[in-house]
Amino acid sequence: MPNGMVMQGEMHNEGHSGHGGGHDHSAMIADFLRRFWICLVLTVPVVAISPMFQMAVGYHFDFTGRDWVSVVLGSIIYFYGGWPFLTGLWDELKRRQPGMMTLIGIAVTVAFLYSTAVVFRLVEGMDFYWELATLIVIMLLGHWLEMKSVAGASKALELIVKMMPAEAHMYHGGEMLHDMRVDELKIGDLVLVKPGEKIPVDGTVTEGSSTVNESMLTGESVPVQKTEGAKVIAGAINGEGSLKIRVDKSGKDSYLNKVITLVQEAQAAKSQTQHLADRAAKWLTFIALSVGFGTLAIWLAKGQTLAFALERMVTVMVTSCPHALGVAIPLVVAISTAITARRGLLIRNRTAFENARRITAMVFDKTGTLTEGKFGVSRIQTLSQDFDKNTLLATIAALEQESQHPIAQGIVAAAKTAGLSLPAVSNFTSITGKGVTGQVKGKKISVVSPGYLKEKNIELPVDDAGSAAETVVFVLEDDKLVGFLALSDQIRPDATEAVRQLKSQGIKVFMATGDNATVGKAVAEQLGLDGYFAEVLPHQKVEIVKDLQAKGEYVAMTGDGVNDAPALAQADVGIAVGSGTDVAAETADIILTDSKPSDVLGLVNFGKATYRKMLQNLWWATGYNVVAIPLAAGVLYPQFVLSPAMGAVLMSLSTIVVALNAQLLRKDLTAKLIHSMQS
């Protein structure tokens, strides 16, 4: 393990698609949808006047010039609607990786050329224009559904940059301030950060005192006290005091820029899962070409006419490119993303459909993921008969209600939750870095830190709740200790059960946190984790994920902060909790909008159900070819030969079966998700 990272072993032993550019991706989705609607409108008359379709359905409709209408409309559909597949075919052939585009491109081209040859009387037979048109329309729809399901290219790097303020208050010529662009600051410059502002640079405090919230950057849940000589990080949020900071790092050397680099590297290195439909299409391409040209050669060798042999070849090639294959996976994707979104799981990367079922190790960030990410009152202790717990809490809250400090906000929130009425406060005074004091019901009440007690030589009680996992504030009445209150980052209510359920499925559960080892151990023991990593920095979280992957684990990372973004990108499945930063959400494959750890269990179950439905649909989409292709080739001729019309009917039936089977996923997924979330 890298230096500075405290790792504890297993508690029981102790006692991946990169995201593309947003504008291009959105334009491509719009283009596919536009081509679909235009081709759909043109397909209706093509199908209606097709002799093959009329024969299959059982009606007759003819008029002078019918063939030429078919040629014109079929040509528009082929060149306009089929263009993405034709260019895709060319790209796949150049890469020597035939897949879905190759199969579609060959099928529509063969159908177009053969149909045109029939219309111009170059060969005898019936045209395939209606097959050509419906195939292109359904494939456009399928690809649009597929692209739509992963729409929203990654904005992680932009969002990280946006965390940096654009300008800083720079000292110029001594004490005079003026605003300057952050990217123009140089090492050694002095800047002022006012209360509540974001820190613009990595630097050192030269003057002032304040607490700084670094939780979204480092994962440290407790705001850090910064005084002269302390290091600060760009993007952190300053608390109640003003800080004068000397610039130590700028540009590419800053903390956030290093995070950006880590995200870029991890996203670029993530291998993309090859889609199941593409693998099926690749094999069908080889089968279609081999059997198609083999059929042509065999029938010509046996003395059949060119027209008969061509019809058999075309029937084989068109039949082997099933309509259903184009929607088999996208339909499952579309239904899955819709159902899970309503349950609080947003899918950004379709490979997560397969990846979630393979998870063997789950790494949770602590702050904001397993815990609430904010202070809650964990214990109240009174040391005077004049105060009960509610009175003590109300008194403290009355003094703290004007403060924006996270500890103060946690105390006030606890009092509000308890429905307490807060007493009036007068002569309120802040004791810099030590606490607050004021008059409450005629008594001088002070809420102070342990350091203040030591400074005043006030003896701390033996049971002072001084665990490093808690923050303690003490209450003095006329300088006499009357009680104390302990706060800690609260574990989410469903976290314990979520961990238990994940472990019951054979998934190892770990925690990585920027907090100290004492806090990490306390949380890990309470949740029953397999292990934990404490005091980790962003690049160390990436190393944790890589180490687990090197040991053969299929790793999911769950987090909510900027510090989690690189690890989310590196993990096989990156899961962001929705209450965290946009950076984490945009880097992840899956977003849990309700920030519930139990939703991860639903995700695993949903991944398994979705993958199983994908396999079923692929079988229904392609399985009929086991019978249809030999019959289309004429293996039972002259007793039986599969006509182009019958081949089209079989394809239509497989498409209907695939659509119905995909709809059954709604019931399956809903049942699994409800079960996992109610467990």
Residues 595, 500, single domain; the answer is yes
Which of 251-265, 297-311, 377-391, 430-444 is least confident?
A: 251-265
Q: Comparing 631 with 325, which gets the higher pLDDT?
A: 631
Which of 147-161, 181-195, 402-416, 482-496 is least confident?
A: 147-161
The neighbouring-strand residues paired with 574 are 557
pTM score of the predicted model: 0.58
Tokens of 396: 């403290």
Residues 25, 39, single domain; the answer is yes
Residues 87, 164, single domain; the answer is no
Is 543 part of any domain? Answer: yes
Residues 484, 498, single domain; the answer is no
365 a catalytic residue: yes
In 3D space, the residue among 211, 218, 249, 532 whose CA is nearest the CA of residue 364 turns out to be 532
Is 190 part of any domain? Answer: yes
Question: Could you tell me the pLDDT band of residue 651, with boundaries at 50, 70 and 90?
Answer: low
Which of these three, 257, 275, 308, is where a domain ends?
A: 257
Query: Residue 638, preceding bond cis, omega within 30 degrees?
Result: yes
pLDDT value at 337 more than 50: yes
In 3D space, the residue among 617, 79, 625, 657 whose CA is nearest the CA of residue 322 turns out to be 625
Q: How confident is the prediction for the chain on average, in pLDDT?
A: 79
Q: Comparing 208 with 272, which gets the higher pLDDT?
A: 208
3-class secondary structure per residue, 632-649: HHCCCCCCCCCCHHHHHH
Contact 147, 334 (CB under 8 A): no
Contact 411, 393 (CB under 8 A): yes
Residues 208, 188, single domain; the answer is yes
Question: Could you tell me the pLDDT band of residue 12, with boundaries at 50, 70 and 90?
Answer: very low
Is 606 part of any domain? Answer: no
**How much is the average pLDDT of 92-102?**
81
Is 213 part of any domain? Answer: yes
Domain CATH number, residue 478: 3.40.1110.10
Provide the strand spans (E) within 104-216.
167-172, 176-181, 190-193, 202-208, 210-213
pLDDT value at 270 more than 70: no
For 225, half-sphere exposure in the C-beta direction (CA atoms, 13 angstrom radius) is 7
The reported pLDDT for the residue numbered 299 is 92
Residues 105, 76, single domain; the answer is yes
Residues 486, 496, single domain; the answer is no
pLDDT value at 558 more than 70: yes
Residues 359, 504, single domain; the answer is yes
Domain CATH number, residue 214: 2.70.150.10
Task: Compute the distance between CA of residue 253 and CA of residue 247 in angstroms, rounded to an integer.
Answer: 12
pLDDT value at 483 more than 60: yes
Which of these three, 226, 257, 288, is where a domain ends?
A: 257
- Phi-psi map region of 557: left, alpha, beta (phi>0 left; psi -120 to 50 alpha): beta
pLDDT value at 158 more than 90: no
Q: How many structural domains does the chain have?
A: 4
**How much is the average pLDDT of 661-670?**
76
Residues 24, 149, single domain; the answer is yes
Torsion of CA 129, 131, 132, 136, to 10 degrees: 140
Q: Which of 88-97, 345-354, 456-465, 542-551 is predicted most confidently? A: 542-551
Give the single-character DSSP code of 198: B
The reported pLDDT for the residue numbered 462 is 58
Is 198 part of any domain? Answer: yes
Question: pLDDT tens across 184-216, in order?
Answer: 888 888 999 998 888 888 899 999 988 888 766
The reported pLDDT for the residue numbered 433 is 67
Provide the strand spans (E) within 185-268.
190-193, 202-208, 210-213, 224-226, 231-232, 237-238, 243-249
Which of these three, 550, 584, 600, is where a domain ends?
A: 600
**How much is the average pLDDT of 61-74?**
90
The reported pLDDT for the residue numbered 81 is 94
Selecting among 67, 127, 202, 365, the annotated active-site residue is 365
Residues 462, 561, single domain; the answer is no
The reported pLDDT for the residue numbered 22 is 46
What interhelical angle do 625-633 and 276-301 show, nearest 10?
20
Question: pLDDT tens across 19-63, in order?
Answer: 344 446 678 888 989 999 999 999 999 989 988 778 777 888 888
Instruction: For residue 397, give its domain range.
Output: 374-490
Question: Could you tell me the pLDDT band of residue 271, with boundaries at 50, 70 and 90?
Answer: very low
The reported pLDDT for the residue numbered 361 is 95
Q: Comparing 645 with 304, which gets the higher pLDDT?
A: 304
> Tokens 């899918």 appear where?
347
Q: Please give the share of the chain, as a percent, with pLDDT higher than 70.
A: 78
Residues 447, 506, single domain; the answer is no
**How much is the average pLDDT of 174-190?**
82
Is 605 part of any domain? Answer: no
DSSP string for 514-553: SS-HHHHHHHHHHHT-SEEEES--HHHHHHHHHHHHHTT-
pLDDT value at 262 more than 60: no
Is 478 part of any domain? Answer: yes
In 3-state terms the chain splits into helix, strand, coil percentages (rounded to 5) of: 55, 20, 30
Residues 351, 213, single domain; the answer is no
For residue 151, what are the contacts with CB-CB under 8 A and spacing of at least 6? 25, 26, 29
Is 666 part of any domain? Answer: no
Question: Could you tell me the pLDDT band of residue 72, with boundaries at 50, 70 and 90?
Answer: very high
Domain CATH number, residue 546: 3.40.50.1000
Question: Could you tell me the pLDDT band of residue 87, with boundaries at 50, 70 and 90?
Answer: very high
